[in-house]
Structure 1
């Protein structure tokens, strides 16, 4: 008979094996940091009185924010760190930055009402992002619950951009501009925390083939924007900012459910929504 193999006794003096540290994926987070820079740049330009550059910074942040998640999915580099980083960058670029920009541009002339409106917008952006993070598993992916924060920011800074492009200066001393900015800031902020459904475009599959006419339509859309970016972009986001209420009213009139909270997350095309 062979002798049983003796198992070596554990060496108490041997160094403990540390778990391998998880790295941070650089590619998607580069887009997120760039979007964060766009928001910061917008604040700095507003302080310096260059509001057109502020608006461009926020719109650039919107484009970059729409790309970081798609890049992460395409390269299979999603991570919990990236999700948290994206939320923090969104809070700066689409929450704090638009509030500061519109306050410096017009709301400071309204005294306390001005900074209260700016704060309401900022607080609603934080609440909207927190609700999005906690409800991400139960909301129908085809719809946003409330106006998404990038679209709310586009409404506020788009208005500033179009007025500044028209050559109007000193908005703090023009009553109708200051009160218009006040109303739009409250509308954008409060709409973020409603339950009104806004189409998310997340069910659009960029990997599927599309008819040739779709490519032509995209090219025409880009050409249309280049004609006069402030007017076209502001008009597009005004339509989008009202579309949720139109969908809500239409569903109500037809007796259809209006909530975007799904009763099941197992079906990707879940239609069992409750009101």
Structure 2
């Protein structure tokens, strides 16, 4: 009986290699644009144009809110896009705001100034890392801690308002430098708390709404356009403290304050994994 041997592939046989995955252009264009806006903001701050630096950060926030929605609407989500988005966020809402606020006011406080800027930068990095690891177990209706775009808007909104009011050489104005210090530390620490901030992710743009809602949106655009620095700064300051209000209300009612679900079986955690 002849021995059975495994057939050997012929030299001419074609080796099948796994197909390389491409990169979706559309959502990553928004991400790259947000990254450019953050980099632009730093360059403008280095040249003393803090008004344009603020515009860059707020533009990055708008673009960052669009890339994920565009990816979901066009079914072009990818692991590459998620990682690219996180890196862009770290630049635009972590490193850039900390450098801008330091250049604008904190350098006059010496070591405390750059430590405050570092607290903000580290808070943004930790918040983004935690968001990526907890994304599957967090109540989608709330953010765990202040989201980094809102934190950046709070800090840079202060810069924009004061620059628009004519304050220059802020590092030599003690009360304003310490105000910037307080905003920077508050935003940095609030990003890494467990305080719930409403995410607006349960708002559907596919549902019909009454006509008055469209009128209200149009009026909202008009109010923002009337005085962008003050209106946007005011909105994000209110949002920046809203999480603590929600936390206090939940605590007073005895309802769970954490947005992290550890089990899908507990009645109080119903819906957190949906």
TM-score interval for Structure 1 and Structure 2 normalised by the shorter chain: over 0.9
1:88–1:261: structure 2 CA closer, same or farther, 3 Å change rule? same
In structure 2, the gaps of 5 or more residues are 1-6
Q: Does 1:190 align with 2:189?
A: yes
Q: CA-to-partner distance for each residue in 1:175-218, whole Å, 9 max, x for gaps?
A: 00110000100000000000000000001111111121111111
Q: Does 1:54 align with 2:34?
A: no
Aligned to 1:132: 131
Conserved 8 A contact 1:264-1:272 = no
Cα RMSD of the aligned pairs, angstroms, is 1.7
Q: Does 1:85 align with 2:84?
A: yes
Q: How far apart are 1:9 and its partner, in Å?
A: 6.0
Q: What TM-score, normalized by structure 2, do the two folds share?
A: 0.93
Q: CA-to-partner distance for each residue in 1:17-72, whole Å, 9 max, x for gaps?
A: 11111000000000000000010000000000000000000000000000000000
Aligned to 2:247: 248
Conserved 8 A contact 1:263-1:272 = no
Q: Quick one: distance in 1 between partners of 2:182 and 2:223?
A: 28
Q: Quick one: distance in 1 between partners of 2:95 and 2:215?
A: 37
Written as runs of structure 1 = structure 2, the 5 A alignment for 1:150-169 is 150-169=149-168
Q: CA-to-partner distance for each residue in 1:102-156, whole Å, 9 max, x for gaps?
A: 0000000111100000011000000000000000000000000000000000000
Q: Quick one: distance in 2 between partners of 1:270 and 1:233?
A: 34
Aligned to 2:229: 230
Q: How far apart are 1:14 and its partner, in Å?
A: 2.7
Q: Quick one: distance in 1 between partners of 2:174 and 2:14?
A: 71
Q: Secondary structure at the match of 1:31?
A: helix
Q: Secondary structure at the match of 1:102?
A: helix
Conserved 8 A contact 2:139-2:271 = no
Q: Secondary structure at the match of 1:198?
A: strand
Q: Quick one: distance in 2 between partners of 1:139 and 1:192?
A: 15
1:232–1:265: structure 2 CA closer, same or farther, 3 Å change rule? farther
Aligned to 1:181: 180
Aligned to 1:260: 259
Conserved 8 A contact 1:39-1:58 = yes
Aligned to 1:115: 114
Conserved 8 A contact 2:264-2:270 = no
Q: Quick one: distance in 2 between partners of 1:12 and 1:115?
A: 64
Q: Quick one: distance in 2 between partners of 1:110 and 1:224?
A: 36
Q: Quick one: distance in 1 between partners of 2:263 and 2:37?
A: 37
Q: How far apart are 1:261 and its partner, in Å?
A: 1.1
Conserved 8 A contact 1:137-1:265 = no
In structure 1, the gaps of 5 or more residues are 1-7
Q: What TM-score, normalized by structure 1, do the two folds share?
A: 0.93
Q: Quick one: distance in 2 between partners of 1:32 and 1:113?
A: 33
